[in-house]
Structures are given as structure tokens and as C-alpha cells.
Amino acid sequence: MIFDQLSPHFGAIVHGIDLSKVSDSDVADIRAALVERKVLFFRDQTLDDDGQVALGRRIGELTASHPVVGGVDSEHPEVYALDSTDNGFADVWHTDVTFMRRPPLGSILRAVTLPPTGGDTNWADAQLAYDSLSAPVRELADKLVAVHDGNREFGYYLAQRRGGRGNEWDGEVVTKLEPIEHPVIRVHPETGRRGIFVNPGFTSHIVGVSEFESRAILDLLYAHLTKPEHIVRHRWRPGDVAMWDNRSTAHYANRDYGTDRRVMHRITLRGDVPVGVPAS
């Protein structure tokens, strides 16, 4: 596969792949590059919702659009739409759907309507960030567990839906968003690399420390995760598709385009239960 690196370790623009007809070897290359480069960009693509879903099924297994937010239309229950005219914003650093037991392995995002300028999306490399923490802080973080709670972002939405029922997720219809625990440092299931797995969007607190300590530790990890050298920033063009490893990254969409419309369609690949660093 041919790609341009966007930084020494993180991000790539992939060339020469038409996502509407990926071969078996394209799929293998994409999967490998996704783990290695963590966020991939494909230019000049021609996907519609059907094509995006078909692509996702080639790369992995699809989830519902979101645990509590319905699909873009009845034909596409897997497609999650973010529309700026319908409050679809993502201007808080987050990793997708970490408030569920099994957050997605990855996400595939397609630009549908773009503002003339602005609305760039930023990704942070959670493994690079982990590696560049000092050893004592890594050792502390390795031992910590955090609570993730989707109610702050999506509780109101869930309450509005079909009498408080969301979508089927992990084989069960979601009727409430129970806060759940994940390790603060996640061991990547394919590479064994460690990465910071807390995010301001969904992590509420760290277990077993004071509220003050939790706030201070999370703020330290967030500030470190989002240092400029851990970030790639994408300026969208029509036809762009981004794909990221949701096990090793966080992201943030700039909300700087005023009242212009911006619409993005996302699908997510089914993931596994995050695993932390084994106790030594």
C-alpha cells in the first residue's frame, strides 16, 4: 500500500485504493495500516451510505449507528449522522462510545457536506502519548481504572427515544446507560502496545482516589494526550474518508464554521472489551 506519513509515527494519507471496490489484499493492507498508523485518510472517494456500509462489512463487523442514537434513515441503521444543523458536534476530545462495555474497534467517517472552510478534525495518538510520559507516571497510570458514563452526553437523548429504548448493542437493547469501568491504560489487543484510554467526553472519574486526585490525574493525562506532537489535523475535502483505530486514538472536530452546514456520516466496527496492564 502506498501512503504519505503525516508525522513520524501517526497518521497516513493512503493512495491508490478505491474504497468502493476493495480487494482482499486492500482489506489486509488497510487493517494492518490502521493498527500501525492509527488514522488513515482516503481522498477522492465516491462512497454513498450503501458503499460506506459495504466497506465497513469488508473491514470488520458493524455495530448499530450508536447505542442510543438511531441510524441516518431506516435503510441504514448502521450509519450515524453528525449534522451541525441538528446539533451534531464533536468539539470535545473523545474516543468513540467508551461508555459501553465493548467500545468500537474503529470508525469510518465520510464527509457529506462541508463548510467552505473550518470543521477540521484532530486525532491524538494515545500510544505515543503513553510512551512519552515519564516512567513513574506511566507506572501510576498502569494501575488505575476509570469510570465512563454516557449519560452526560446521551442520557437526555435516550430519554427521548421510543420510550427510553436505544439500539441493540452487544446483543441487547439499550434501555439505560450504566456507568462502566475501563482500565486507564489500554493494552492494544493486536500489538500489545499501551495507550491512554481515558477521554474528557465520557470518562467521569478514576476509581479509588479522591475527587481532587481524580480531576488532577485526568487533567494531566488529557493535557499530555493532546500535546501538538501527538496530533494530526485533517482539513476535509469533498470525497474524503477517514478511518481510525478507536483503541489507540482520541479525536476532536473543530466547531469554528459558524452557521454553515457540516454533515458527516460514520459507521463503527465492533470491538472488544478493553484490557489493561496486568498487575506485576
Ligand X SMILES: O=C(O)CCC(=O)C(=O)O
240 lies in the binding site for ligand X (CB under 6 A)? no
Strand partners of residue 196: 185
Q: What are the grid coordinates assigned to 128, written together? A: 505515543
15 vs 233 by CB, closer to ligand X: 233
Residue number closest to ligand X, CB atom: 90
- Nearest Cα to 12, choosing from 185, 227, 177, 241? 241
Residue 107 identity: S
251 with 244: CB under 8 angstroms? yes
DSSP states of 259-272: T---EEEEEEE---
Which of Fe ion, ligand X, none does residue 266 bind (CB under 5 to 8 Å by kind)?
ligand X
Question: Is position 266 annotated as part of the catalytic site?
Answer: yes
Number of residues that bind Fe ion (CB under 5 A): 2
82 vs 141 by CB, closer to ligand X: 82
Distances (CA, A) of 230 to 6, 90, 199, 266: 11, 19, 15, 23
133 vs 267 by CB, closer to ligand X: 267
Query: Which of 40, 109, 196, 198 is close enough to bind ligand X by CB under 6 A?
Result: 109
245 lies in the binding site for Fe ion (CB under 5 A)? no
Q: Which of 26, 49, 96, 149 is catalytic?
A: 96
90 lies in the binding site for ligand X (CB under 6 A)? yes
104 with 266: CB under 8 angstroms? no
96 lies in the binding site for Fe ion (CB under 5 A)? yes
- Considering the complex, what minimum distance in angstroms separates the CB of residue 277 from ligand X? 26
The residue range among 23-31, 51-59, 89-97, 172-180 that interacts with Fe ion, by the rule CB under 5 A, is: 89-97
CA distance 12 to 10: 7
Residue 109 identity: L
266 lies in the binding site for ligand X (CB under 6 A)? yes
107 with 269: CB under 8 angstroms? yes
264 lies in the binding site for ligand X (CB under 6 A)? yes
> Which residues are annotated as catalytic?
94, 96, 251, 266
Binding site for ligand X (CB under 6 A): 82, 90, 96, 107, 109, 121, 251, 253, 264, 266
